[in-house]
Amino acid sequence: MQKIVDEYLTKSGKSAIEFSTFSQEMVDNIVKAVARVGMEHSEEFAKMAVEETGMGKWEDKVAKNLLATEYIYEDIKDLKTVGVISNDKERQIMEIAHPLGSILAIIPVTNPTSTLMFKILIALKTRNSIILSLPVRAKGVCSYVAEWLYMVALESGAPKNVIQWVSTPNREMTRLIMKDERLALILATGGKGLVNAAYSSGTPALGVGPGNVPVFIEESSDIDFAIEQIMISKTFDNGTICASEQAIIVEKKNMKETLEALKKYNAYLVPKEELSKLENIVYDKKRKNMSGAIVGKSAKYIAKLAGLNAPKNVSLLVAKQEGIGEEFPLSSEILAPVIALYEAKNYSHALQICSRINLYGGKGHTASIFSNNEERITEYSIRMNASRIIVNTPSSQGAVGGLCNNLAPSLTLGCGSGGRTSTTDNISAKHLLNIQRIARPVQRIRREVYAVS
């Protein structure tokens, strides 16, 4: 196995050296061509991903693929990534961009094609070679997409082996590549085990921690609008975005209106007597994590599997909860159209619940609020240990950026120190550069300053 790892890294290293000599114009031509093919085949790739993985909705995966190509391209196309990228004459500091070298990109099964195309584009834009570690359950579609993009990159002048992929995924091989000193960086998006392995490998890593996103419907908000937006987010691609809402928190005086709105939008409030059935299906108590069998499945599918008396047109399963933690499995991250609901006594109590959910498996990731009270939006934001506070917006679409706000579009969301990552940013091309700074004097250092008295 080590021999195969050596082959990947040797080829990647040679490619990276050659790529480092490319001009900005050469790089931009390659990136434009690769982005275009991703856009043109976004529907094909989406349908293949759903067919192979059984997760999500192909229509929503088209939107993800377009985010990963069209929106990412528009965001990075004018970014300088070669040679002198800035020259501040007042501060007398010049900045020069250098590539990192060989990058390992871990691709998640929940968003396989979109994450793969996103990581390839930002690697190419920064003159880095990339090795893709593919998810077992999406290796077919990922290999297909990677080959498409690689051939287009070669035709556009990219060096040989600038994109490689492990077509027969192997966890041990991935770990060996991670630990190799020839690797410059790991872009880790995937299961908790692989992401933790990336951080403990000794190689610099940029990754995504788990999300357990609270959404607070504050009393000044339009509750019907808030529920509509939450439904748009939580049912998008059957809840496979890690920034999707996981728990709705509402004050007692607004609970009746909230329940009416949920019913209006075809959500099913799971009765107390059915909660254990739902828990047993969506949560794996041995692994203390969501069950892989329901990730990316529809509410209708999950309801039938659990034996719930949900209506045929159900779009979201809502589980009222009394507590947070291991004794309440539905208080954790569930990447499916299942959401917890909490009734708070008052505003202060609502903040406490939101904070506890945020800290229970979602530190550093994302929190959401619907409110028209700026003071309370600020107070909520300060209380949350979250890199992104999404306001009056579907959290899934808001957190990834570019669609309904001005956050950088990205399929890899930094979670700061709370999520054991090194940045709170939405990861983009600028994070894959070594920036060299040339500093010239702005004043003389006089000898007498350092003279011994």
Active centre residues (catalytic): 242
- The pair of three-digit structure tokens given for residue 221, joined into one six-digit string: 């908000």
Give the whole-angstrom CA distance, residue 96 versus residue 204.
21
DSSP letters for 175-223: HHHHH-TT--EEEE-S-HHHHHHHHTSSS-EEE-----EEEEE-TTS-H
Measured CA to CA, the distance from residue 206 to residue 117 in angstroms comes to 17
Distance CA 168, CA 334 (A): 28
Gap between the Cα atoms of 42 and 113, Å rounded: 9
CB 189 within 8 A of CB 208: yes
The residue among 428, 344, 329 whose CA lies nearest residue 124 is 428
The one-letter code for the residue type at 289 is N
In sequence order, the β-bridge partners of residue 130 are: 103, 163
The pair of three-digit structure tokens given for residue 224, joined into one six-digit string? 């019907």
Q: Which residues pair with 435 in a beta bridge?
A: 97
Look at residues 389, 410, 372 and name the one whose alpha carbon lies nearest to residue 215: 389
Output the furthest CA–CA distance in the chain (Å, rounded).
Answer: 88
Q: Residues 6 or more apart from 182 whose CB is under 8 A from it? A: 9, 12, 13, 101, 102
What b/e readout covers 43-80, taking b as 16+ CB neighbours within 10 angstroms? ebbbebbbebbebbbbebbbbbbbbbbbbbbebbeebe
414 contacts: CB under 8 Å, gap ≥ 6: 206, 208, 387, 421, 422, 423, 424, 425, 426, 427
* Residue 406 CB contacts under 8 Å (≥ 6 apart), including other chains: none
Displacement of CA 376 from its chain's centroid (Å): 27
As a whole number of angstroms, the distance between CA 42 and CA 71 comes to 13
Q: How far is the C-alpha of 182 from the C-alpha of 126, rounded, in Å? A: 18
Measured CA to CA, the distance from residue 267 to residue 130 in angstroms comes to 42
What is the SS3 assignment for 167? coil
